[in-house]
Amino acid sequence: MRLRLQVLVALVTCSSITGSLAYKPVVILHGILSGAESMASLVREIKEFHPGTIVYNCDKFSGWYSLENAWRQVDQVRDYLNEVGKLHPEGIIVLGYSQGGLLARAAIQSLPEHNVKTFISLSSPQAGQYGTSFLHLIFPDLAAKTAFELFYSRVGQHTSVGGYWNDPQRQDLYLLYSEFLPLINNEKKTSNSTSFKMGMVRLNKLVMIGGPNDDVITPWQSSHFGYFDENMDVIPFIRRPIFTSDSIGIRTLQEAGKLIIVVKPHVHHLAWHTRRDVIHEVIFPYLD
């Protein structure tokens, strides 16, 4: 009964497109302060050029609800992916945009027995976020240099952004107070550290997409696990501990030929999932 209900939910509230099973089903997660409707262009392109693909355009935590605590969102996304995965034993593709890509990754890591074959991270702050342009979209009166005062507090951790705000000059406070990003990146060891890594290495393909003209994800290299050091110099992911120590399995995936890094210039953050040429160039090659 539960699975039948889940199919109905997929068809009605998550905009499922049914048809043949020539392509793997795709689950799409929207970004912050938006909802499933914001991903409509991408859904239409998939429907037109990959006819028959089942698409779950998830509408959980839309609008202001997307600012709720990161773990609360991950718990529901995890259960959702688990139910969709059970419907499709052949495997599924998960695409998460912006904050949705970070939440999707955490959900996948929380499912060490998942059947996600490909995870596409579309301009997502996988190594964290630190920048005024992003901040002012949500908290117009906050400055990046002082935002730690809010985010690294009990109150700040109730917001999704607080969970992945990564101040490169306040790393002691980040590791002390942040309850989300340091855990899923295994910067802080927990009883879940091993399973978080297992969830990642279970993937057949990890696709990380971003570019230098994004203007929202800061630094833009965070979309590829690169990040600022304490001097505000960007360190490529291959020189950061998350790769060199293989703390969440990125190096394992890279050595197995399962890690794909896509750098696409001249694409603004709001265009990754709306511009047809971008969709076809950076997303479609991995929807197989």
Domains contained in the chain, CATH given: 26-132+191-286 (3.40.50.1820)
Selecting among 50, 114, 269, 273, the annotated active-site residue is: 269
CA distances from 259 to 60, 100, 112, 118, 243 (A): 28, 19, 18, 10, 12
What is the rounded average pLDDT of the residues 215-233? 97
Mean pLDDT over residues 45-58, rounded?
97
pTM: 0.92
Cα 276 versus chain centre, distance: 21
pLDDT of residue 197: 98
CA distance 124 to 91: 23
- Answer yes or no: 98 catalytic: yes
Residue 91 burial (10 A CB sphere; 0-12, 13-18, 19+): middle
The answer to whether residue 10 scores a pLDDT higher than 80 is: no
Average pLDDT on 110-128 reads 97
Tokens of residue 157, six digits: 């951790």
Look over the chain and give the mean of its residue pLDDT values, rounded to a whole number: 92
Cβ–Cβ < 8 Å for 236, 256: no
Separation of CA 106 from chain center: 8
In whole angstroms, what is the distance from residue 98 CA to residue 35 CA?
12
Torsion of CA 275, 277, 278, 280, to 10 degrees: 120
Contact 4, 35 (CB under 8 A): no
Tell me if the bond preceding 219 is cis, omega within 30° of 0: yes
Check 15, 160, 214, 273 and give the catalytic one.
214
Per-residue pLDDT band at 5 (split at 50, 70, 90): very low
Sign, CA torsion 87/207/184/156: negative
Query: Does residue 2 register a pLDDT over 90?
Result: no
From 98, 160, 178, 222, the catalytic residue: 98
The model's pLDDT over 125-156, given as tens digits with 9 standing for 90+, comes to 999 999 887 788 788 888 889 999 999 999 99
Residue 103 pLDDT grade (very low, low, confident, very high; cuts 50, 70, 90)? very high
Does the CA dihedral 191-192-197-201 come out positive or negative?
A: positive
Secondary element (H or E) of residue 234: strand 234-235
Helices (H) and strands (E) in the chain, counts: 13, 8
229 is catalytic: no
Q: Can you tell me the distance from the alpha carbon of 195 to that of 99, in angstroms, rounded to the nearest whole number?
A: 22
